[in-house]
A and B are shown apart, each in its own frame.
Chain A
């Protein structure tokens, strides 16, 4: 009998769902068997850290090395293991029914379970960090994305505008939804956390895709007619790209094969946290970078040479701001430890980091509006000039 979604529609499990369910049951079965035989069950997961990250420019994103973290059952780990099994049960139930939850909701669901069952009291999570780490551990162990466990984060960023893009979404119940972005008026299209379900089609050949760090600036460009004048897609990233944005840009790269440019601030934080994550993924998400990074993205700017060329207003790094100082320190670390910046192929990007460390100056994307304050299209003109002349890294 098919289970039903909360909406009442019958829930059809996807192939991925079935794999996860199978894999999880195998794991539990093995643990129980080990226990029956007086053997210590062992849970192993891929180590998701920078020291286990490999970067190959041909692959284009950070991939996991051979390091594994394993938890063997003993008196110290029995708590962690019982929590993992407890949370796994909740997550599998969601997959069975097609229900989704955020991490925060999972925290409260687990609290509710504990409240209604006295003998689970010892498992109670003190705060959300504790339950989050158990969810992450399960994902690393099963080598799947959090979204595949039906655990979604808030869909942040990714507002997309285009006159020539049609998106087809496969719904959980097997139906399809077709969205023509040119028909949305001033509203943007915003991808969900599972962009794997989206299929993209161009009505007319699209020349390029522009990912803008500031969603506000992206909106301004579009409001001033950017997508009307140019056959393009404009995406607002809203800071560090969420899974939705990362997966979405990857989808654009794979299905439309258009050049993608990133336009953001010139500072250490943008380079390492925003651009690197968009282009090659992050160390924390090693197991899913393949679907959540777009290696073809180019760094359009702001480039160090743009400051002089366009006489942009830049300013020194505030030495008293701990966040900025941390970013610079991290940049130094990145140059010596991050395989992405160490790779020869990304020399241009690591040179920008060097420039930032040496000059201790930064320049914001909005500084393009200072070039000709009376021309609202000035930023657009510069972006186009840079794309046409190949002024990007």
Chain B
């Protein structure tokens, strides 16, 4: 007798991810610790940048006992920021619900995109220690902070809040998350926590961070610029990056709107003129543009789609990418250690595979690694939207680009088809609203030819800049060996000749004198070459120094203005606090939430004050 067909059930997103945590970075106890820190830190930085707050981050990772899993420790991870805080109504969504995101598919260069990571971290915490995440948060207008424990309701993909309380908190706004998980701490090596945090330090010059790691003490790194990167507005999708199905659902999303307007508003690079041209050349009926976008049938949409795909369009705008900037990067790279010399390159944004991309490169030589064996490959730091990538590096576009550049021509050792060698850091940051990752845990950038070429161009420019320093050094070495040669071999040569020809002392003296003159001339030549190389590199340093001076002046002026502004604001705030002493926390909070992303902190303060 045939078996009865099994019932087909639908499972929730949370159920899926809770069973497949390895897909989102929780494949091992070691990776679990790193991913948890990473998700919390990414969220903190994104939130600060959204509200133009210069981030002050405090990370602590602490071993507090043995874990329940084999070979693991119980680990407390705490990440604290001075961001805008989270609306109490949103806490459950943020930490306990999968795919709940303020950033999904916006076409912006934020670190987080889908809203999976932090919920996955909560799930891991519950699975290993049966305890969710403890969140303490306070938005700008709130008098007191909210502290609660968030868990995931796997069955319904919902966050559950427990033990909610309000507490006093000594800061205007911010969020602290605290996870208790089972895991293992790896500090060093490419996949280590230190590497991850240092990577963040490099690409976030505006961030101050204090981190405490097990057996590593506390490290405090100050920001080197106050400029919070301005996050460019999102752009609409480019029609050539869409597939037919996406195109059709895009139309349905827009609802009752003339399809002509839908095309103009829903896509970038389509305007009246372009649409008219397409309609003319592809002989589409004009009436189609007046129809409602959600009233178009599939045949009509397919015809429109085909026509647009066949048309020549301008590539997407590059305005939606953001950069760290050469200056900020040069300041930031010096936070990584005792840097001997470095070069940074910030390429102009460009289009790769029809997506706007910007590549920035920093190459530095570290003094403290100079004594090490020079056969070690360079340290590669990879960043995608300013998030350090630490796993699966071999297949990554960045590594592919580094290995295909000929570093030997810049004076850096490099075996064939491999990473260059020596005490260098090669950091490559790629920023794009649409990065093609190879996997869901965002660890490897897909290596398309166009992208690899763009990264190579940046690396080659950085290499050329760097070679000036290396040139100076090799000239100095050259000069030294030449002098040493003269001193060592000159007398030996003359001794030999004198012995064999049985010459007298007088001839020996004459020959010694002659040799000194001859080789002295050579030494002079090599000294001259060294001088030229030195001058070149000094000119470079002087240029850099000038830029720094200008910058410091600017900063001074800015800080003076900011002080004035702050004084004015504190006056205004004093007045308003008298009027609004027992205002409703919730109302203020929702106001804070409604403030747009681009408004500065100062503006937010003003607004609250006025109210």
Contacts and interface: CB of A to CB of B under 8 A. Distances in A.
B501 A119 contact: no
Interface in A3-61: 24-25, 28-29, 31-32, 34-40
Interface centre among A25, A37, A78, A123, by most B CB within 10 Å? A78
A83 to B, nearest CB: 8
A28 B485 contact: no
Given A36-B511, A39-B514, A119 B496 contact: no
A88 interface: yes
Given A82-B492, A119-B491, A31 B526 contact: no
A89 B498 CA distance: 11
Given A29-B501, A38-B517, A39-B514, A75 B482 contact: yes
B492 A86 contact: yes
Interface of chain B, main secondary structure: helix
Contact of A36 (B490, B499, B514, B522): B514
B246 to A, nearest CB: 51
A39 B518 CA distance: 7
Contacts of A38: 513-514, 517-518
Interface residues of B, number: 30
Interface string B393-434: 000000000000000000000000000000000000000000
Contact of A31 (B488, B497, B522): B497
B522 A75 contact: yes
Contacts of A40: 518
A81 B491 CA distance: 12
A85 B500 contact: yes
A37 B485 CA distance: 21
Interface string A177-211: 00000000000000000000000000000000000
A86 B496 contact: yes
Contacts, number: 85
A42 to B, nearest CB: 12
B527 to A, nearest CB: 11
Interface string B477-489: 0000010011011
A284 interface: no
A37 B514 contact: yes
B510 interface: yes
A74 B493 CA distance: 12
B497 to A, nearest CB: 5
A120 B522 CA distance: 23
A378 interface: no
A215 B503 CA distance: 52
A35 B494 contact: yes
A68 interface: no
A153 interface: no
Nearest to A32: B497
Interface in B446-500: 482, 485-486, 488-500
A88 B511 contact: no
A74 B494 contact: no
A73 B519 CA distance: 8
B530 to A, nearest CB: 13
A68 B490 CA distance: 25
Contact of A35 (B486, B489, B514, B526): B514
Interface string A65-90: 00000000111101101100110110
Contacts of A122: 488-489, 492
B523 interface: yes
28 contacts: A25-B500, A29-B501, A32-B507, A32-B511, A34-B514, A35-B511, A36-B511, A36-B514, A39-B514, A40-B518, A74-B518, A75-B482, A75-B485, A75-B519, A75-B526, A76-B482, A76-B485, A78-B485, A79-B485, A79-B488, A85-B493, A86-B496, A88-B500, A89-B496, A119-B491, A119-B492, A120-B492, A122-B489
Interface of B: 482, 485-486, 488-501, 503, 507, 510-511, 513-515, 517-519, 522-523, 526
